[in-house]
Amino acid sequence: MDQQKKKSKTITNILFTLLGILILALVGAIIYFYLIGDIFQKEEDLIITCGCYYIDPQVTDTCGDTKRAFKFNTSTGTLNECSASCPLTELSPNMLNSTTLQEAYITCTTKNVPSTKCNAMEIKTKEGLTVTGKINPEETITITATFDSTQYTDHKFLINNVPSQPDETTDTTISKTLAGFGDDSTLQISAQAVDSTGDTVSSIICNRLIEITTTTETGVSALTLDTYTSSGKTIVQSALISAGGLKDTSTTIKFSFKDEVLTMINGFELDPDKGRITITESNLYNSLNFVESKSFSALDTYQGDVTVTAEVLQDNISLGTATEEIILSTTQDDQTQEEDEDDTTATKSQFNVTKASSETCVERVSPDNSSTFTITIRNNGEETDTIESIKDKLPLGFEYVASSSTLNGNPIADSVFVTTSDIGQSQEIVWEPQNSWSIDTGETLIISFNAIAGSASLTGTNLNEVIVTPSEIPEDPATLSSSIEIVVAQDCDDIDTTVPQTGIFDSIVGRIFFGIATIMIGIIIYNTNRGTQLATMVINSNTYRNAEMTSYKIFSPKRYFEERLLERRERER
């Protein structure tokens, strides 16, 4: 009887041992997956290179386009703590080719400097003054770029995307002197080299865009009015006035046609360096911009050929006049107007949207976690049409890079055009102008922006979708959306998009089966002779005995020495 109780107690101990093993295995699995998750969280602690740069407000007053910088500073640190310093006291105004005051220069930051292999670039005039973004056509400039290694070869400058050999190469520095810019209005300069693996070495630090200011004779030289027809009316889409001698001062524009005189005091963009005044459609038809509380809608009462004259006055002094002849649509009878209205109502937008990415694969850490996304909207209709907004939903864990948006290649301010919203761990970006964007027939509107993959981004293929909202009813709504796939991987050079399998515990059926099997094994062991025999074999095995003695040694030293003493006496017998 005592023997039977002893066996039952032993079997019970075995069952509890098995249960303990299962619990330990479960705890181990939890720790394992916790550590896997912790790996991604620690990516935020990885060391990155961040930077700051200076821009001249006479060139641009908006951060985001690093090509407009004239000086870079960099620093290294963790993703959340990296910070570069650009104090204005570092600038010496008498060494800069600009009239901007020291305290007026703008400093900008960038969280991601993908490469510092080209770590410095200076552009100076022949007087030794640093070019801050603008030069005259007669200027002679010297470009100097510095790399971080003497092992690079095939050094070159790209001048407006045309390769050009340096005038001088010494150790890590290359230089070149340029003059005679012809009719070019801008000068894009970048420095490159080739490393020992054959890869091209470049950096945003060594990539600059310089404006070449033009000089014109004083006086108004031309007036250009772009028009289009809508609902039987001729609309002036934009006005461009070319004038030399413009100053950034009080300006008035007087438009006259037939018996009308419109005095415009607001709503135009003055560019003295380029000698032009530009006015958009929305401002031409806004009566608040005119002294007489009228606007270009006064043209609606005329038909046929009309000569429009523009006179520019600065500080009440006339710079001259220019004229342009436009043809206004003939007024139609009521029936024809009704037909046109019906046609207008029936007109539907015919936009086509495509999406592209500069990278097909990104990683979760700098410098390989960034991609430039491009949205292209083409007007396939027969008339000029307008866009109200553009909405882009980033993949899970991706984040929009502030001030990175461009419109047709020109930087645009986030505060005016861009709104970002957090939806869970995703971001939604909306580009929306104060007035709708107008796209001529056959023309395109291109939005580009940067986004980075964060620690929450999912390994494998991710979908990025964009949706465009037109002003008119679309002919085919399917053409207003587009999507691309971008891969997130630990190593884009060795992409593995398969999801790791963790075993039977990933499957509900597997978990149920394993539980039932465990219970059945326990029942068999407890209630059958075979189970008893199996338990007896386990108990009598050296492995079990060694394990039992090890547990005694750790948790019950007294029992351990008692068992050792009994074993010794048995051997002595």
Q: What per-residue confidence (pLDDT) applies to 28?
A: 67
Percent of the chain whose pLDDT exceeds 70: 83
| Contact between residue 180 and residue 148 where contact means Cβ atoms under 8 Å apart | no
| pTM as predicted | 0.39
The better pLDDT of the pair 275, 505 is held by 275
Cα angle 210, 404, 79; round to 5: 115
- The one-letter amino acid at 205: I
Mean pLDDT of the region 515-536: 67
Say yes or no to pLDDT of 31 above 80.
no
| Contact between residue 229 and residue 244 where contact means Cβ atoms under 8 Å apart | no
Asked if the peptide bond before residue 557 counts as cis, ω within 30 degrees of 0, the response is no
| HEC assignment per residue over 377-423 | EEECCCCCEEEEEEEEECCCCEEECCCCCEECCEECCHHHHEEEEEE
Locate the domains of the chain by residue range: 47-212, 228-237+246-333, 348-488
Identity of the highest mean pLDDT range in 153-167, 238-252, 408-422, 474-488: 153-167
Say yes or no to pLDDT of 75 above 90.
yes
Dihedral sign (CA 89, 94, 95, 101): positive
- The one-letter amino acid at 346: A
- Range 369-379 burial, b when 16+ CB lie within 10 A, else e: bbbebebbbbb
DSSP string, 251-270: EEEEEEETTEEEEE-SS-EE
The distance of Cα 30 from the centroid of its chain, to the nearest Å, equals 36
Token pair listed for 406? 């461009």
Place of tokens 């030293």: 557
Q: What per-residue confidence (pLDDT) applies to 532?
A: 61
The CATH class of the 348-488 domain is mainly beta
Tell me how far apart the alpha carbons of residues 367 and 112 are, in angstroms, rounded to a whole number.
7
Tens digit of pLDDT for each residue in 304-321? Answer: 889 999 999 998 888 889
Tell me how far apart the alpha carbons of residues 114 and 271 are, in angstroms, rounded to a whole number.
34
HSE (CB half, 13 Å, CA atoms) of 491? 3
Mean pLDDT of the region 259-277: 87
- The one-letter amino acid at 96: L
Token pair listed for 24? 């330990």
Cα angle 335, 341, 345; round to 5: 145
Fold of 47-212: Immunoglobulin-like (2.60.40)
Token pair listed for 337? 């107007």
Tell me how far apart the alpha carbons of residues 346 and 343 are, in angstroms, rounded to a whole number.
5
